[in-house]
Each structure stands twice: as structure tokens, then as C-alpha cells.
Chains A and B, each alone.
Chain A
Amino acid sequence: MKSVWRAIGTPVLASLIAIIIGGIIAAAIGYNPLQVYGSLISGAFGGAIPLGNTLAGSVPLILAGLGIAVAFRAGLFNIGAEGQYWIATVAAVWIGYHFKGMPGFLHLIFMLVVAMVVGGLWGGIIPGLLKAYRGAHEVITTMMLSYIGILFAQYCIEPGGPMLEKGYQPQSPAVAQNAWLGSIIPNSQLTWGFAIAIVAAVVVWWILFHTTFGFQLRAVGSNQFAARYAGMNVPLYTVLALGFSGVLAGLAGAVQMLSQDHRLTQSFSSGYGYTAIVVALLARNNPFGVILAGIFFSALSTGSQNMQLVSGIPQSLTDVLTGLIIFFVAAERLIPMALTWYRRRKSGRLQVSLPEGGRTDG
């Protein structure tokens, strides 16, 4: 139980502190913090439609966040989920309007699979091979490939681009309508994509903690030397872990496209791939934590629109909050340290404090 509390306690406490600081900032510049947060909450959860939108917004965050968590579990930092997301979306859209005759369900599966393969190749296999056999740092390669992926998606629908639809809008043709993901709550953006995200989290959890694949992935991530000595193929798992990570980022792109836009449009600044990093961090790479963290950050972003509308405070306040939350999650020692300091001051005598794990040899 103690470990469960530790896993959940810190992120919750960090969020609370950040929210309080955010409130102080809002008050300091003349806004009513209660109104600010009230409008934020009602914008995110007040009613079926806002709630549906919040859950809908969490889908790409959960899926891409799972991908990043998988990479972190393997000791790798996939910073390029954004590009994997887009390159997979391009592939899915292309399939989506090229094979219009297919039965809807099969077509849907086809698109999802292609997106996952493309995402996996882009995010995983290429950087994984470069890392495993050329020693190229995955932070750089995934990032570079990410930029290339985004530029490629832009190129596809630029004037004269290969996927540009005839007409005046810079967009691609829409994917076959019978393959769209349908709504769960009418009039909200919530589609069956949310169910896919939840299932994906369960599957990722099961793979990580109940399969030999996950066992090796985590072993390589925790201690690649011991993994090597135990006979595991470290380069292979580097490639596979990044590949798995990219698969999930790719799935995020396809699911989001099939739920919302149904085509490529000129909105390439989703930022899902970056927010997903934060989601994974807040969730401490726990798949179920990713669901909660995904919903939390989606709520911040959905609610912030209402917040700006109602209270007039800029939406970017939520980014400030996000930054603070991550800061306090990272600085988890702050609270115990502050408590020790307080006690020491109170008792008035110097106590020797020691960080945990004070083992001695000799």
C-alpha cells in the first residue's frame, strides 16, 4: 500500500501545489482564483458535452503517452512522438481515401494497422537501429525524424503537394466515411477512440508486466548490463522498445484523425506528442496512470477555453500550471525536506537527516 500511495501521492500533491501557485498568480494580477478555476472545471467537466470533449481530447494523449512510457520503461527517451503521430496520420489518410470500396470495419483496421506500422518504423525502427548499431542518441534521432515527419505531412498538402484535394482548402480528401470512428456521446467529440485508448492501456500494462517481452524490455531499461549478462539481446530490445513506442504514437494519430478531422488539414501544431511526454512523466510510466494523466491534461486544455471566455484570464495559464506540476513531480523531495526543516526549526536542535538508502559498506 505504501508504494501505491507513493506512486499516486506525489503527482496529486504536486498538482495541488501547482494549482495553489496558479491561484496566487491569478489573484496577483487581479483575477478571482475561484472564478478562474471554477470556469476551468466547468469547461472541462460541467455537463455531458464538456466531459465528452475532455475525454475525447485525452485519447491522443493517452495513446501517445503510453508509447512514451514504454520507451521510458526501456530506458529510452522518445521525444519525437509528434512526428510519428503525423507521419502515421498521413499514411492512414492515404489508405483512407485510396481504398474507398472496402467494408468499413476492415478499412478501419487496415488504416490503424498501417498507421501503427508506419509510426513504429519512423519512431522506432530507424532511431532504434541508429542507436543500437551506430550509437546515435535516440533523443536526437527521434527529434530529427519528428521534424522531418511534420514537414512531410505539411508537404503532402502544400500547393502542388501529392495529397492535396482539388479546391481552395489546403487539405487532403476525406477518408471513407464508413470507416470513421463513431460518437459515444452525441454532439460531443467523444468517439469509440476512447475505448481504443483504454484497451490499449490495458494491453500495454499486460505486455509490460506479464509477458517475457515486457520483462526483457524493463530489464534492458533498468540495467542493460545485467540484461546482457542474462543473455538478453540489448540492441534488439532497444529497437523493439522504440518501435513499440512509435506504434502507439502512430495509433494515436490514426485514431484522432478517424475521430475528429477525417483528413489532413493544416493544423500540424497539435502538440500531442509533446504533451504526451508530460503525461507519461506524471503517470510515472504506469499505463493506468497514463489514462488518468491523459484525462487530467486534456481537462486542463479543454477547460482553459471556457476559462478564458468566462474569467478573461489567458488560456496559457494552464501551461504555466503544467510546467509547475511537472516541476513538483520531479522535485518530489521538496515536501519531505520542507517537513524536516520545519520540524528541526520547531524542535530547535540539529538533527542529522539522511536521504533514503543510506547503506554503508565497510
Chain B
Amino acid sequence: MSVLANPQLWFATLAMATPLALPAIGGTFSERSGVVNIAMEGIMLIGAFFAVAFSYWTNSAWLGLLFGMLMGGVISAIFAWAAIRLAADQVVLGMAVNIFAAGLTAFLLDTVFGFNGTPANTPSLPTVHLPWLKSMPFLSGVFNDQSVLVYIMIVIVIVSHWFLFYTRLGLRIRSVGENPLAADTAGLSVSRLRYTGVIIGGLLSALGGAYLSIGILHSFDVNMTNGRGYIALAAMIFGKWTPFGAFGASLLFGFATALGIALQSFNVSSNLLGMLPYVLTILALAGLVGRSTPPAADGIPYEQHR
């Protein structure tokens, strides 16, 4: 029990959940608009790499973050174009983006930065320290000195929920994901809304990637996302295509990972403990969550006969 009472565990949970929650919410936007997106992994890598690169070139982590997200937006716009305009198979396309991004970032790391990788003096994003939390040591332990992106992530969760369920644009995005023909005949532009959904998804995924490279570190490694984009995909489905659900699922994964790390001090195999998040997910899917239903038109290209 002393493990659970330790704020470090919860600090780590939040820190581990962030790079899952951001792409999971990103995926939620994309799929709510009706485009199946398994490209989060690749877009995260793009975001992570370009965030570091531009951070180094501009000597500003914030500008790095901006460009990292921008590049994520660009790659997801290409993805969206092929998915929407060319009606390409979205799962295949997602795989293509993932492989392409892994190759491209590794290739650029080698050709641009050379053998030693990204320079050690690359600036990274600040952490947040709230002095007034001092009086509450537990909360201080959990929230203080987290990367600023953890806070931004929490804001994004709330804003995303509001955006999807309380704004006109959110209503429209959801409607094209459910029945694009109905939306079209109501006078909405299906493709424009889908571009919006996919590109927002790309920006958020890239943000998740940037968190890894300039949020908690200040360097880029080959394949540094290490499958987080796929776990985010699981979190999105687990969270039933809602921002809060995706966040909750990400917290669960984050918690399981953090718990695994914390238990290592008790001399339990790290490999066995590493299974914890995955076992939890399977148990949850088998028992708790039951069937989760995607948006009705998810993954189906919309074509007009003109």
C-alpha cells in the first residue's frame, strides 16, 4: 500500500499517460469524422523529430513544438487527402504513414545530425512548478515539476470534450462520422469536415510525440515512440471514442506502466511487470467495457456520384 500512497507513482502515471492521451484524443477526432486513423504512431514520430530539430535550429523549444505540430499536420493532411479524395483503404494508409515516418525520421536523424544524434544542447520545454501546492505534499508531489505539456494535455482533454459535444463544428464532425450522406444533403461539406477531424488528430498526435522528445527529454531516438501510437489506438477504442474516455484509458495504461516501474524495487522481473498494462487492457475489454461501437461511418470513404 505504501507504493500507492507514494506521490511518485501518481506523478509517473500522469507523465506516462500524457503521450497516450494526446494521440488517443487525436485519433478520436479523426474517427469521429469517419476516418479510421491508425497512423498516430507515425505522426508522433514526425512530431517528435521535427520538434527536436526545429528546437535546435531556432534555439527555442516553443518554436520547435510549433513546427513539430505543423509537420504532424502536414503529414496528416496528406493522409487525409489520400483517404478522402482518393478513397484509399484507411488502415493500409495508416500502416504506410507509420512505416514511412519511422524510416524518414531515422533517415533524417542520420543524414542531418549524423552519428551522434541530436545535439545535447537542444532546448526543451519547461516544467511547471506551483509554489502554492507546497502545503499539500501529496498533490505537490504529483503535479509539481511535470512538463508544461502535461498541463496543456489536461486542458486539451476538457476543450476537446467541449469542442466535440458542445460546439457547432463538433456536431458537424460527429454527423459526418455517423452518416456522411445525411450531412451532405443537409448542406455540409463532408470532405472539409473530415479534413478538419484528421488534421486536428494529426496536430494532437504530433504534440504527443513532441512531449516525448522535447517535453521529458531533449533528444530524438530512432523509433522513440516505441508503440505508444498503437497503445493510444487501444485507448481510443477503450475510451469509446470520447476525449474523457480516451484520457481515462490512457491514465489506466499510464498507471499500469508506472506501477510496473515502482514494483521493480521489490525485485520482481521488469519484463513480467511490463505486461501489466496489456493484461489489464485485455481483462478490461473482456469484462468491463464490453462492446464498444465506433462511429457508424468510421472507415468508409464517402463518394459522390457526380
Chain A–chain B contact at Cβ < 8 A: yes
Query: For A174, what are the chain B residues with a Cβ–Cβ distance below 8 Å?
Result: none
B286, A134: Cβ atoms closer than 8 Å: yes
Q: Closest chain B residue to A277 by CB distance?
A: B95
Is B89 on the interface with A (CB-CB < 8 A)?
yes
A154, B88: Cβ atoms closer than 8 Å: no
Shortest beta-carbon distance from A239 to chain B in Å: 14
Instruction: Write out, one digit per residue, whether chain A residues 195-211 have a CB within 8 A of any chain B CB (1) or not (0).
Output: 00000000000000000
Which of A161, A277, A333 meets B86, CB within 8 Å?
A333
Shortest beta-carbon distance from B294 to chain A in Å: 9
Is A97 on the interface with B (CB-CB < 8 A)?
no
Q: A158-B269, A331-B86 are in contact. Are A316 and B237 (CB under 8 A)?
A: no
Is B159 on the interface with A (CB-CB < 8 A)?
no
Q: A145-B278, A316-B110, A323-B96 are in contact. Are A134 and B285 (CB under 8 A)?
A: yes
A331 to B292, CA, bound (A): 29
Instruction: Write out, one digit per residue, whether chain A residues 135-159 have a CB within 8 A of any chain B CB (1) or not (0).
Output: 1110111011101100110110010
A135 to B286, CA, bound (A): 8
Query: For B233, what are the chain A residues with a Cβ–Cβ distance below 8 Å?
Result: 139-140, 143
B88, A317: Cβ atoms closer than 8 Å: no
A79 to B107, CA, bound (A): 25
Is A326 on the interface with B (CB-CB < 8 A)?
yes
Is B54 on the interface with A (CB-CB < 8 A)?
no
Query: For A314, what are the chain B residues with a Cβ–Cβ distance below 8 Å?
Result: 106-107, 110-111
Is A244 on the interface with B (CB-CB < 8 A)?
no
Shortest beta-carbon distance from A276 to chain B in Å: 11
Q: A130-B285, A337-B86 are in contact. Are A135 and B290 (CB under 8 A)?
A: yes
A258 to B125, CA, bound (A): 49
Query: For B168, what are the chain A residues with a Cβ–Cβ distance below 8 Å?
Result: none
B86, A158: Cβ atoms closer than 8 Å: no
Query: For A334, what are the chain B residues with a Cβ–Cβ distance below 8 Å?
Result: 82, 86
B271, A324: Cβ atoms closer than 8 Å: no
Q: Closest chain A residue to B286 by CB distance?
A: A134
Query: For B111, what are the chain A residues with a Cβ–Cβ distance below 8 Å?
Result: 29, 313-314
A148, B275: Cβ atoms closer than 8 Å: yes
Which stretch in B2-10, B27-35, B97-105, B128-136 binds the other chain?
A: B97-105
A333 to B87, CA, bound (A): 8
Q: Closest chain A residue to B294 by CB distance?
A: A137
A140, B272: Cβ atoms closer than 8 Å: no
Instruction: Write out, one digit per residue, whether chain B residues 258-280 have a CB within 8 A of any chain A CB (1) or not (0).
Output: 00000000000111101100110
Which stretch in A58-66, A181-189, A217-225, A353-361 binds the other chain?
A: A353-361
Q: Which of B86, B110, B282, B291 has its CB near the most chain A CB atoms (within 10 A)?
A: B282
A136, B286: Cβ atoms closer than 8 Å: yes
A253 to B97, CA, bound (A): 27
Query: For A165, what are the chain B residues with a Cβ–Cβ distance below 8 Å?
Result: none
Count of chain A residues near B, Cβ 8 A: 53
Q: Which of A324-359 contact B (CB under 8 A)?
A: 324-327, 329-334, 337, 352-355, 358
A141 to B289, CA, bound (A): 13
Query: For A160, what are the chain B residues with a Cβ–Cβ distance below 8 Å?
Result: 269
Query: For B86, what are the chain A residues with a Cβ–Cβ distance below 8 Å?
Result: 331-334, 337
Q: A130-B286, A141-B285 are in contact. Are A331 and B278 (CB under 8 A)?
A: no
Shortest beta-carbon distance from B93 to chain A in Å: 5
Query: For A77, what are the chain B residues with a Cβ–Cβ distance below 8 Å?
Result: 91
Query: For A29, what are the chain B residues with a Cβ–Cβ distance below 8 Å?
Result: 111
Is B152 on the interface with A (CB-CB < 8 A)?
no
Is B255 on the interface with A (CB-CB < 8 A)?
no
B93, A319: Cβ atoms closer than 8 Å: no
Is A318 on the interface with B (CB-CB < 8 A)?
yes
Query: For A144, what are the chain B residues with a Cβ–Cβ distance below 8 Å?
Result: 234, 278-279, 281-282
Query: For A278, what are the chain B residues with a Cβ–Cβ distance below 8 Å?
Result: 95, 99
Which of B91, B100, B278 meets A319, CB within 8 Å?
B100
Is B305 on the interface with A (CB-CB < 8 A)?
yes
A322, B99: Cβ atoms closer than 8 Å: yes
Is A12 on the interface with B (CB-CB < 8 A)?
no
Query: For A190, what are the chain B residues with a Cβ–Cβ distance below 8 Å?
Result: none
A134 to B284, CA, bound (A): 11
Q: Which of B82, B92, B303, B305 has its CB near the most chain A CB atoms (within 10 A)?
A: B92
A314 to B281, CA, bound (A): 38
Q: Closest chain A residue to B89 by CB distance?
A: A330
Interface residues of A (CB under 8 A from B): 29, 77, 79, 130, 134-137, 139-141, 143-145, 147-148, 151-152, 154-155, 158, 160-161, 277-278, 281, 313-314, 316-327, 329-334, 337, 352-355, 358, 360
Give 7 closest A-B pairs by Cβ, nearest first: A323-B100, A319-B103, A135-B291, A316-B106, A326-B96, A155-B271, A136-B285
List 22 contacting pairs A-B, 8 Å CB cutoff, sorted by A: A77-B91, A135-B292, A141-B285, A144-B234, A147-B274, A148-B275, A151-B274, A158-B270, A316-B102, A316-B222, A319-B107, A320-B100, A321-B103, A322-B103, A323-B42, A323-B97, A326-B92, A327-B96, A329-B92, A329-B96, A331-B93, A355-B303
